[in-house]
Amino acid sequence: MTSVLFVHNNLPGQYLRLIERLQELDGFSLAGIGTVRARGISGLKMKKYSISSDGIADVHPFARRFDLESRRAEAVLYAAVAARDEGFVPDVIFGHPGWGEVLPLREVFPRARLYCYSEYFYRSDNDFRFDHQAVRFGLPNRVGLEMKNAATLISLVASTAGIAPTEWQRSLFPAEFQAKIKVIHDGIDTAKIRRNGAAELRLDNGRTLTSRDEVITYVARNLEPYRGYHILMRALPKILSARPQAQVVIIGGDRTSYGAPPPDGRRWKEIYLDEVADQLPMDRVHFLGRVSYEDYLNALSISSAHVYLTYPFVLSWSMLEAMASECVVIGSSTAPVEEVIEDRRNGLLVQFGDPKQLAETAIEVLSKPKSFQKLRKAARQTVVDRFDFETRSWPQFQALLSQE
């Protein structure tokens, strides 16, 4: 029996498909550690923890993140010791180091093989200097950003190996660590995620959209500059003027996931909507907020053109899932999008900061849908060939699990 522990503040996080696969097999005992807000996964025994941020304002700004990570590490330490005292001693640990949760694990379970999810190494060139159209940050902000890497580096030193989902994400880490990091994507369930010609998406106004409609889709965890929300909004007036039947479906929350929040206490969503609202037919722009997974997949299935823009940052599942759904993805020519999309073969690439080029490309896709059928098929095939969980990711995870 191989015992496997998963540690992630929002468990299952990136480990969803791996946990589900292991649950189907004999010979594995599984457990997890996550916060009290983690949704968990049916059948997985979990230890949940909470932390307090009281007093964090008294800590130097550069150290506040590490202070929170240290508090989280302490809470995980107690959860891990409790699991150990109940008899659960893992042979393998998969953990995300980005919140400090991996810091105590080597001490509690010294013999376990520890695999750190090496998702991102902060660099100011990617985060603060890339987008000149958004908020500018000074030198202290850039120094503070680089210091976010502390817990990740400490955890990587203690790990057996790191796991990065793309080659580019691995390349961000210091050269002396890259040989320790394996590239294994979380995996896409391409059997489940595929285009459904009968899909429908019901809007709040009572209208139902199908694949017979002209639908521009955009998906992000939250509507913010890191994922090019401002560029999309600036492109919409030209697109909707040229395509009077087009509908826009925007899925995502209105908080801040990445980068700094707006300086004036407002939300990015309203800031960039207000900028162009008087130029838009708002009855054709639909903000759905966060939706069910079913509605999300239906939106991809009815999409005529799917916009995916990003700073050089972590690659979203949504882009790969859109490609698996045979969407015509209009992506930004940024890393790691360019690692997946080849312009005019399996998707379309535009400059991140160019709303005019985005608009012209979207108009082309909407006006010539039959011209992109081959591209749609190639998009799905790319994901099947390179990112399918069962045929690509799972064999690599099996190799890690079988090592002694």
- What's the pLDDT tens digit per position in 148-160? 899 999 999 999 9
Q: Tell me the domain boundaries of the chain.
A: 2-187+388-402, 201-386
Name the burial class of residue 20, with classes exposed (0-12), middle (13-18) and buried (19+) by CB atoms within 10 angstroms of its CB: middle
pLDDT at position 291: 97
Q: Indicate the pairing of strand 348-350 with strand 329-332.
A: parallel
Structure tokens at 44: 């997985």
pLDDT at position 261: 80
Cis preceding linkage at 262, omega within 30: no
Give the pTM. Answer: 0.94
- Cα within 13 Å of Cα(387), Cβ side: 28
Rg (CA), the chain: 22
Structure tokens at 238: 């030209």
Three-state helix/strand/coil letters over 252-282: EECCCCCCCCCCCCCCHHHHHHHHHHHHCCH
Residues 283, 287, 292, CA angle at the centre, nearest 5°?
Answer: 130
Let me know how long the chain is.
404
Question: Which of the residues in the chain have pLDDT under 50?
Answer: none
Q: Indicate the pairing of strand 92-95 with strand 2-7.
A: parallel
Domain 2-187+388-402 class, CATH top level: alpha beta
Name the burial class of residue 124, with classes exposed (0-12), middle (13-18) and buried (19+) by CB atoms within 10 angstroms of its CB: middle
Domain 2-187+388-402 and domain 201-386, same fold? Reply is yes
Q: Are 134 and 223 in contact (CB under 8 A)?
A: no
Q: Are 18 and 30 in contact (CB under 8 A)?
A: no
How many Å apart are CA 11 and CA 48, to the nearest integer? Answer: 10
How many Å apart are CA 225 and CA 353, to the nearest integer? Answer: 10
Please list, in sequence order, all residues whose beta carbon lies within 8 angstroms of the beta carbon of residue 25, skipping any fewer than 6 positions away.
none
Please list, in sequence order, all residues whose beta carbon lies within 8 angstroms of the beta carbon of residue 23, skipping any fewer than 6 positions away.
30, 43, 44
Q: Are 44 and 29 in contact (CB under 8 A)?
A: no
Considering the domain 201-386 in this protein, what is its CATH number?
3.40.50.2000
pLDDT at position 126: 64
pLDDT at position 138: 59
Condensed to tens digits (0 to 9), the pLDDT of residues 86-126 reads 999 999 999 999 999 999 999 999 999 999 999 999 887 76
Residues 392, 109, 68, CA angle at the centre, nearest 5°?
Answer: 85
- Report percent pLDDT > 90 for the chain: 86
How many Å apart are CA 201 and CA 223, to the nearest integer? Answer: 20
